[in-house]
Amino acid sequence: MQRIGVFVCHCGSNIAATVDVKKVVEVIRSEPGVVHAEDYQYMCSEAGQERIAIAVKEHKLTGIVVCSCSPRMHETTFRKAAERAGLNPYMVEIANIREHCSWIHKDINEGTEKAVILARAAVAKVNLNTPLYPGESRVTKRALVIGGGIAGIQTALDIADAGYEVDIVEKTPSIGGIMSQLDKTFPTLDCSACILTPKMVDAAAHEKIKLYTYSEVEKVSGFVGDFTVDIRKKARYVDADKCTGCGLCQEKCPSKKTPSEFNRGLGNRSAIYTPFAQAIPNVPVIDTDACIKFKTGKCGLCQKVCAAGAIDYTQKDEIVTEKYGAIVVATGFDTIKLDNYDEYAYNQSKDVITSLELERVMNAAGPTHGHLERLSDGKAPKEIVFIQCVGSRCSDDRGKPYCSKICCMYTAKHAMLIRDKYPDVNVTVFYIDVRTPGKNFDEFYRRAVEQYGVNYVKGQVGKVIPQPNGKLLVQGSDLLDNKQILKEADMVVLATAIEPNKDVRKIATMLTASIDTNNFLTEAHAKLRPVESPTAGIFLSGVCQGPKDIPETVSQAGAAAIKVVGLLAKDKLMTNPCTAHADELLCNGCSTCANVCPYGAISYEDKQVNDHGIRETRRIAVVNNALCQGCGACTVACPSGAMDLQGFSNRQILAEVDAICR
């Protein structure tokens, strides 16, 4: 029989205001196994932890229940306190009477009743707890960064500067990401390429950084400290070692009608191409869908003109297998498709464009060489309307429920830049709210209004109607003046919502990293562990975790890097002892557990068993404790109940259920 001590925390008034903690102490005393119970203001404080240590000694406790906040908050704290007092840390259970109880109840009687029940369940579990001992696993001192945008580049640079090897896998032919497509950046208006390209060069030149561009992560196995990753290096059909980057192949390529991804489809590129002039590596790739040689077997002009002899039509995709200790997801974002927003006539008129397309139009290297012009007829616009929140903050399922965060600022930037360069152009911005928290952000927005005379109208646009004269009739409302507005515009720019890159689901699945309903990767803790995934060894950098601007992305990238460095600096990791194991006499050998195991931790062996005198060879599940992460999927899938999880055994869980239902 265990000797259990129960410690009930007030959490100031967080718990004590809605739970009668004295009563919980009183009631729980009579539970089987409980030899001591007390309450205290803040159990997590040093004094609180000291009380646990004293009680362990005084009452010869073998198990501890702390009724407090979520175990995600302080389970480790109390486990460590128990360990210092001489107990096995896994003899501690937390009854979450804050998040699961006091915070969601208003009535003190209800709250108290539930707190007692939760405490009772935890006591029932501790009665069946056994000491558990973690093992050790090694750490591969190398990190993988998935995504080569500013987030991935910054993370890689920071990890590499700390002295660790890091690889960047980027699926497009060049690193740089969306930032490389931007013209100027808020709130300082410096040129995006000017600040980004040096970082790209740094990354490429860094002796600790290896770039896998035009490559994709294909398979991930293993666990924190010891991941094995298959990377598919897609065939470039250009030998990177021979190519001098002279660009002659692209110049001579006769197939020049493919919409340029870099220019958001506003211009064309050749079949053999580098996405943009400062691309890194400066080695082109052949788009086999557009290449005449690949489609018809004829042509081969690029090979003929290449003095370096770098063109190789026989190149094949290559799979590289590498080991990593940590993986950073920096897969970034894209703008949403506008198919659900027909009212803005995006698909009907070339003069309705997204803000990202406007970046390309305003960029000197863009399709119009930086001249602001209508894409339909090349004429200079006189009247431009910006529409905010297209697909953002959307209450139905047409768009996204969240705020894309960057649009208010980039629209102020666009409006300001246009008014600065073309003072004769009228700029009107339709907005729901203007959101400018951030250093020098509100000042920036006010400059657009006060100094540059941008016309901000609070209200939404209902419809954009292309007119026979080529103009766009914008129907909107002005909520402040309470009137309808009809405006003829030459160009309409949509602040299109951003969403996580579409590949993130595939990558999250490979990494068993969780994602939310909007496909943003979930943090281990929204406030206290914002750059870590709940999956150990997986870190988050940039917009894959949530909308952010460049300074925030760079800060988060650095934060992710330091977390990676903290992990790689360790020689060994303690493994979670809460792993699964199969009862040999109950196991049917049916493979169900292996089918559901996300970590590939289960294999089968033919084992000699003695089942109450029957000796026979049986196919039995064997769990690799180093791979098992204790998720418990196998234990629920196992039809015979042979699979069990240390620390969360079927008996323990049923004892908790029994205690709750009593």
Partner 1 sequence: MQELITRAKELLENGTVARVLGWKIGDLPYNPEPAFFETAESLDKFVYNGFCGANLSKYMIEASKLEGKTLVCLKPCDTYSFNQLLTEHRVDRDKAYIIGVGCKGKLDVEKIKKTGIKGIVSISGAEADSACDTLEIDTLYGKKSCAYGDAMLERCHVCKGKEHKIYDELIGESRDTADKERFAEVEMIEAMSPEEKFAFFQKELSKCIRCNACRNVCPACSCRKCVFDSNKFDSAQKANVDSFEEKMFHIIRAFHVAGRCTDCGECSRVCPQGIPLHLFNRKFIKDIDELYGDYTAGAEAGSLAPLTDFKMDDAEPSIVNERG
- Interface residue with partner 1, options 587, 601, 623, 627 (CB under 8 A): 587
Residue of the chain from 85, 248, 585, 622 that contacts partner 1 (CB under 8 A): 585
For partner 1, the binding residue among 152, 367, 542, 589 (CB under 8 A) is 589
- Nearest-angstrom CA–CA distance, 108 and 334: 48
β-strand pairing of 142-146 with 326-329: parallel
Query: In angstroms, how far apart are the furthest CA atoms of the chain?
Result: 96
Query: Least distance (Å) from partner 1 to the CB of residue 593?
Result: 9
Q: How far is the CB of 503 from partner 1 (least distance, A)?
A: 11
Residue 218 Cβ, how far from partner 1 at the closest point, in Å?
Answer: 15
Q: In this complex, which beta carbon is closest to partner 1, that of residue 257 or of residue 619?
A: 619
Give the nearest distance from C-beta 444 to partner 1 in angstroms. 40
Which string of x and - marks every residue 607-626 that binds partner 1 (by CB under 8 A)? ----x----x--x-------
Decide if 64 contacts 48 (C-beta within 8 A): no
- Measure the CA–CA gap between 168 and 15, rounded to whole angstroms: 46
Q: Which is nearer to partner 1, 395 or 517 (CB)?
A: 517
DSSP code at position 448: I
CB of 201 to partner 1, least distance (A): 37
If the CB atoms of residues 60 and 619 are measured against partner 1, the closer one turns out to be 619
Q: How far is the CB of 141 from partner 1 (least distance, A)?
A: 32
The least CB distance from residue 651 to partner 1, in Å, is 6
Q: What angle do CA 627, 153, 370 make, to 5 degrees?
A: 145
Q: Select 110 or 583, whichever has its Cβ closest to partner 1.
A: 583
We find the least distance from the C-beta atom of residue 94 to partner 1, in angstroms, to be: 23
Q: Which residue has the tokens 């699926």?
A: 171
* Least distance between partner 1 and beta carbon 545 (Å): 21
- By beta-carbon proximity to partner 1, the closer residue of 373 and 644 is 644
Instruction: Give all strands (DSSP E) within 57-140, no chain letters.
Output: 63-68, 92-96, 136-138
User: In the complex with partner 1, which residue's Cβ is closer, 27 or 628?
Assistant: 628
Stretches 8-16, 273-281, 495-503, 578-586: which one binds partner 1 (CB under 8 A)?
578-586
Q: Which stretch binds partner 1 (CB under 8 A): 173-181, 266-274, 452-460, 588-596?
A: 588-596
Residue 617 burial (CB < 10 Å; 0-12/13-18/19+)?
Answer: exposed
With contact defined as beta carbons under 8 Å apart, do 108 and 20 qualify?
yes
Q: Which of residues 54 and 636 has its CB atom nearest to partner 1 in the complex?
A: 636
Task: Report how many residues bind partner 1 under the rule CB under 8 A.
Answer: 28
Nearer to partner 1, 283 or 587 (CB): 587
The only residue of 591, 603, 608, 610 in contact with partner 1, by rule CB under 8 A: 591
* Interacting residues with partner 1 between 623 and 662 (CB under 8 A): 637, 639-641, 650-651, 654-655, 658
- The answer to whether 317 and 232 are in contact (CB under 8 A) is yes
Nearest alpha-carbon partner for 494 in 354, 399, 630, 322? 354
Q: C-alpha distances in angstroms, 427 versus 164, 376, 392, 419, 424?
A: 49, 19, 21, 7, 10
What span, in angstroms and rounded, lies between the C-alpha atoms of 284 and 236? 7
Cis-peptide into 466, omega within 30 deg = no
Output 301 or 394, the one with its CB closest to partner 1: 394
CA 247/CA 254 separation, integer angstroms: 14
Q: Which is nearer to partner 1, 509 or 610 (CB)?
A: 509
**Measured from the CB atom, is 622 or 637 closer to partner 1?**
637
Show the site string, 498-517: x = touches partner 1 by CB under 8 A, - = not: -------xx--x-------x
Q: Residue for token digits 């096995």? A: 88
Give min distance, CB of 543 to partner 1, in A: 21
Among 188, 321, 595, 603, binds partner 1 (CB under 8 A): 595
Q: How far apart are the first and last CA of the chain?
A: 20
State in angstroms the smallest separation of the CB of 84 from partner 1: 33
Distance CA 167, CA 230 (A): 13
Site for partner 1 in 16-55 (CB under 8 A): none
CA–CA gap between residue 657 and residue 651 (Å, rounded): 10
Nearer residue to partner 1 within complex by CB, 241 or 606:
606
Task: For the beta carbon of residue 4, count every other beta carbon within 10 angstroms.
Answer: 26
CB of residue 228 to partner 1, shortest distance in Å = 20
Distance CA 279, CA 415 (A): 29
Considering the complex, state which of residue 467 and residue 509 has its C-beta at the smaller distance from partner 1: 509
Q: Could you tell me which residues come within 8 angstroms of residue 49 by beta carbon, excluding any fewer than 6 positions away?
A: 43, 77, 78, 81, 84
Rounded Cα gap, residues 37 and 65, in angstroms: 9
CB of 645 to partner 1, least distance (A): 13
Nearer to partner 1, 233 or 618 (CB): 618
244 touching partner 1, by CB under 8 A: no
Are residues 386 and 428 in contact, defined by beta-carbon separation less than 8 angstroms? yes
Judged by beta carbon, residue 299 or residue 585, the one nearer partner 1 is 585
Cα-to-chain-centroid distance, residue 41: 37
Binding to partner 1 (CB under 8 A) within 361-390 occurs at none
Please report how close the Cβ of residue 591 comes to partner 1 at its closest, in angstroms: 6
Q: Which long-range contacts (CB under 8 A, 24 or more apart) does 481-487 make?
A: 485/457, 485/459, 487/383, 487/385, 487/428
* Short-list 214, 210, 16, 170, CA closest to 97: 16
Q: Which is nearer to partner 1, 416 or 587 (CB)?
A: 587
Strand partners, 616: 609
Q: How far is the CB of 586 from partner 1 (least distance, A)?
A: 5
Least distance from C-beta 129 to partner 1, angstroms? 15
662 alpha-carbon distance from chain centroid: 42
User: Binder to partner 1 among 250, 376, 522, 592 (CB under 8 A)?
Assistant: 592
Q: In this chain, which of 458, 473, 583, 648 binds partner 1, going by CB under 8 A? A: 583
- Nearest partner of 355 among 492, 559, 457, 479, judged by Cα: 492
Quick count: other Cβ atoms within 10 Å of Cβ 441?
18
Binding residues vs partner 1 (CB under 8 A):
505-506, 509, 517, 583, 585-592, 595-596, 604, 611, 616, 619, 637, 639-641, 650-651, 654-655, 658
